[in-house]
Structure 1
Amino acid sequence: MNREQISAIAHTHHPIKFPLHDDSVRRLLEQGLPRGDERILDLGCGSGEWLLRALSAHPGLRAEGVDIAEDSLDLARREARRLGVEDRLTLHHRSAEEFASPHAFDLVLSVGASHAFGGLLPTLAAAREHLAPGGRVLIGDGFWEREPTPEAVEMLGDFTDLASTVDRVVAEGWTPVYGHVSTRAERDAYEWACWGTLASWALDNPDDPESAEVLDTARVRRSEWLRVYRDTLGFVSLVLRRTTD
């Protein structure tokens, strides 16, 4: 079973693929979309959950999403039809780095997708290329709450602490106008949902030839979370504006 299939199963009951409760997602979108009639772009949209929630809440909104996973985009299209917002959603099957548009966007999202651009600051540089004057960026990324072990750094990447993360963003010419640090409860709920759902799928499908592999994947991921990064990895979401356009 490939990575996208594993992810789709794991996120069945937590469609926002990051440690954020529904209320946190709603508040972040409200801060990113102050008017409600904006044009919005998600670089690395996956199954389009952020865009679908924004479109459902704001009838005047238009949205575009970019992702390399065709299965995820198909899921987004089906859900958009179910919600009746498909006429305001455009999806692009291509890498976010290669995406070009004739439009500028009032809000550019890239939550948890910095690996696609090579880090947080390159992600912000890419978002800026698509941003309309006065527009906002909604970005989410990890940070170290405590000094990580070498194993955690090797597994997850070389993050910095929260203050240093914000300092780096500000030094690149951005001003945070809203932010949310995911709580321990949000982080735990996310991890339990992912690996519990994956394990349940394996137990419910014992005759599937990949069931044992999926169950082992759930065990390994749960152990990595509990033993390697539960006490060290945080997640911050920031709504940003350019300090000078």
Structure 2
Amino acid sequence: MTDALGFYEHLTFNAPLSEARADALVGRLAAAAPSTVLDVGCGWGELLVRVGAACPEVSALGVDTEERHLERARSRAVELAVADRVRFENRPGDQLTEPADVVICIGSSHAFGDTAAEALVGLRKLVRPGGRLVLGEGTWEVRGPVEPELVWDDLVALPSVAGLVDVAVEAGLRPLWIETANEDELFAFESGYLADLEEWLVHHDDAAVRSRADEHRRRWLHGYRNAFGFAYLTLGVPALS
């Protein structure tokens, strides 16, 4: 591997999230008129800066522990002219204590526990009563042929969409909106992830990169493609609880 290789350059979001779904999600959050927004495990913060742009009065904070992601996030905030209201810090999510009106956690709930139930306990503490929690989480529901030897163990342990919603309700949250990534979004995400490697291989004979790309693609297309999914839940925290 070389430093010249791309670093998620072909992905807008570090999740299977289309522009249309992101716009709808941002619109629903903006309609709630939050004053404060927190993105836990924000990556390069694309969704957070869009929320900031849609909510002119909002103060937002994104935290992550990958500095290269945060550098990209800060540049994007400047590009959208929200850098005065949308900040990014290198901090672990489980060290946060100040609650916000809206909390976003997409693909980063593991910072709060090994299970969805444990994660929701930690995340709920960060949402003010009456606020919103946007949870993006992988799911596992077999829909076609799956070669088990090509599937990582942690994927098989993921909940179904229904199971994830049930856990959220049991945690005292209300499911305001339930949606899942469609096949186009999942294919775009996997292709975008692999694009850094494949673009490199067009111009370089690199055995290590080729092996990494081929192994990931094999596991995706022949292993988890017909079972792995991604759910986006917009959850309400009751004002009286």
Residue from 119, 123, 128 that aligns with 2:119: 123
The aligned counterpart of 2:67 is 70
Give the % identical residues: 31
TM-score, normalised by the number of residues in structure 1: 0.86
1:93 aligns to 2:106 (yes or no): no
1:53–1:202 CA distance, 2 compared to 1 (3 A) = farther
The aligned counterpart of 1:40 is 37
**Which 5+ residue runs of structure 2 have no aligned equivalent?**
none
* 1:213 CA displacement: 2.4
1:226 aligns to 2:225 (yes or no): no
CA contact (8 A) 1:10 1:198 kept: no
1:73–1:115 CA distance, 2 compared to 1 (3 A) = same
The aligned counterpart of 1:144 is 140
CA contact (8 A) 1:140 1:235 kept: yes
* 1:122 CA displacement: 2.3
Whole-Å Cα distance in 1 between the matches of residues 161 and 30 of structure 2?
25
* 1:96 CA displacement: 0.7
The aligned counterpart of 1:203 is 202
* 1:121 CA displacement: 2.1
- The count of residues paired between Structure 1 and Structure 2 equals 236
TM-score, normalised by the number of residues in structure 2: 0.88
RMSD across aligned positions (CA): 2.4
For 1:229-240, list aligned pairs within 5 A.
Answer: 229-240=224-235
Whole-Å Cα distance in 2 between the matches of residues 120 and 25 of structure 1?
23
Report the AA paired with residue 186 of structure 2.
R
The aligned counterpart of 1:180 is 179
CA contact (8 A) 2:34 2:102 kept: no
Whole-Å Cα distance in 1 between the matches of residues 34 and 232 of structure 2?
22
Which stretch has the larger CA shift, 172-181 or 35-44?
35-44
Whole-Å Cα distance in 2 between the matches of residues 32 and 47 of structure 1?
19
**Which 5+ residue runs of structure 1 have no aligned equivalent?**
none
Residue from 103, 109, 115 that aligns with 1:108: 103
